[in-house]
Structure 1
Amino acid sequence: MMKIECITIFPEMFAPLEHSIIGRAQKNELFSFNTIYLRNFAVNEYGQVDDSPYGGEPGMVLRPEPLARAIQSTHVKEDGGKVIYLTADGVPLTHKIVSDLSKESHLVLVCGHYKGIDERIREDYVDMEISIGDFVVSGGELPAMLLTDAVVRLLPGALGHKESGDTDSFAQGPLGWPVYTRPEVFEGKSVPEVLLSGHHKRISEWRTAESLKRTKERRPDIYEKLQIDTKFGTQ
């Protein structure tokens, strides 16, 4: 069973993971989730885990001693797992990274705050640094939840037999295609006729065309790579 642990100063923020698909996966023991309260490893009786940065820069930095002790308490290194730091200057999160991480047995997610964490922890304790986008949020808790959700839904059995991530955006390269449900006509707009035809080949061709169209319009970077891969026979 996969184990995911989050080192944080705000453990109460992770309550949403008790619900929906992720909550169900926990109840079904597909993975275990635990928060580690960083202040339990504080440098003094006042619960201090941060300090001002050397060099006079404004803001605060999470100190290395509490983080080192918190990471060591998980025994993730002994388990052969990975320590991941969620940070805006990390590598962009992709479906490939999520897929690879879903095969790990133990993940420890470090949630930074303020100006980040001491660089020595990044150098000596962290195995991977991940960004969820080209923007900055107030702390690592929301990115950690997003990463956890993305990883867990790829675990065997997490989505159930009626659901599948195989046709999700990015799972096979391009973005997903448009989807429709009842009613057949809504506010004057009808479901595309091809989806009502029962002709599986035509439906498949329509989905492929719409998927590529949407990818070209919204993510030309992905579309260009698809065209290059196809040209050289790797797609």
Structure 2
Amino acid sequence: MDGRIDILTLFPEMFDVFNYSIIGRAREKGILNINTVNIREYTKDKHKKVDDYPYGGGAGMVMSVQPIVDCIRAVKKLNKGRIIFLGPKGKTFNQKMAKELSKERELVFLCGHYEGIDERAYKYIDMEVSLGDFVLTGGESACIPIVDSICRMIPGVLKSEQSYEDESFYNGLLEYPQYTRPEYFESERVPEVLLSGHHENIRKWRRLQSILITMEKRPDILKKTKLSKEDMKLLNNYIENNI
């Protein structure tokens, strides 16, 4: 994706986080174009209200359809990308989805709030995404990690593809252990293989560690990952030498 991301929200200031670190530098270089749009600017209510009580009663307030739809229509004049709503009924976000969305040139994220949005707004939404099976105070809290995850896989954002291809979940497994100086800290030393300079042995060690860590911490992921013949050989050798 070398286009733009627009985030429709009631709280644009929450996205100041994208002014810093890796994402901030990528924006300064023109690699990323992330914009926030305040939904309140599109309400026709003289008091700038964007919510109301739900018909039929019930606790809480619901975001009104008019400001949401008018905001979407305005943004679509500049951004032709899919409208993605951050809501609890959506498909759970994962690394596979992040990779797919990072290939899009343009995307629009709609952040819900309060008790949700008027049902009539859904026909303007192309996709609903959830961060997980838990409740947040608003879509903004879900949108930040999702946009961050997508953006970091856009070419040029990180220094090299290797930076994200070795990370947890990218290739189906958790990431291997990482070490840096000093070589010795208290009673622990960096694993000898990492000091050997033998790149093939280091690669095999890291792959084995990813398998073992995933087996220990997330066996559910390992069940869904197809291990190669080399993976099985590494694992069997490890088991044989540690019985």
TM-score over 0.5 for the alignment? yes
* Aligned position for 1:219: 218
Residue 21 of structure 1: CA displacement?
Answer: 0.7
* Aligned position for 2:86: 86
Show structure 1 runs of 5+ residues with no match. none
Query: Distance in 2 between the 1:72 and 1:230 partners?
Result: 48
Query: Distance in 1 between the 2:10 and 2:79 partners?
Result: 24
* Aligned position for 1:209: 208
Query: Distance in 2 between the 1:199 and 1:102 partners?
Result: 34
| Partner SS, residue 45 of structure 1 | coil
Query: Distance in 1 between the 2:87 and 2:109 partners?
Result: 11
1:15–1:79 Cα change, 3 Å: closer
1:163–1:202 Cα change, 3 Å: closer
Q: Note the alpha carbon deviations across 1:138-183, whole angstroms, 9 max, x for none.
A: 1111211111111111111110249621111111111110000000
Asked if the contact 2:93/2:131 (under 8 Å) is kept, the reply is: yes
Query: Distance in 2 between the 1:216 and 1:152 partners?
Result: 29
TM-score (normalised: structure 2):
0.88
| Partner SS, residue 176 of structure 1 | coil
* Identity score, percent: 44
Query: Distance in 1 between the 2:71 and 2:79 partners?
Result: 15
Query: Distance in 2 between the 1:128 and 1:61 partners?
Result: 20
The one-letter amino acid paired with 1:38 is I
| Partner SS, residue 164 of structure 1 | helix
1:140–1:167 Cα change, 3 Å: same
Asked if the contact 2:80/2:107 (under 8 Å) is kept, the reply is: no
The one-letter amino acid paired with 1:160 is K
Q: CA RMSD for the aligned pairs? A: 1.8
| Partner SS, residue 41 of structure 2 | helix
Alignment of 1:149-228 (within 5 A): 149-161=148-160, 164-227=163-226
| Partner SS, residue 5 of structure 1 | strand
Work out which of the two has the higher radius of gyration on C-alpha atoms and give 1 or 2: 2
Show structure 2 runs of 5+ residues with no match. 230-243
Which stretches of structure 1, 4 residues or more, deviate above 3 A after TM superposition? none
Count, aligned residues:
228
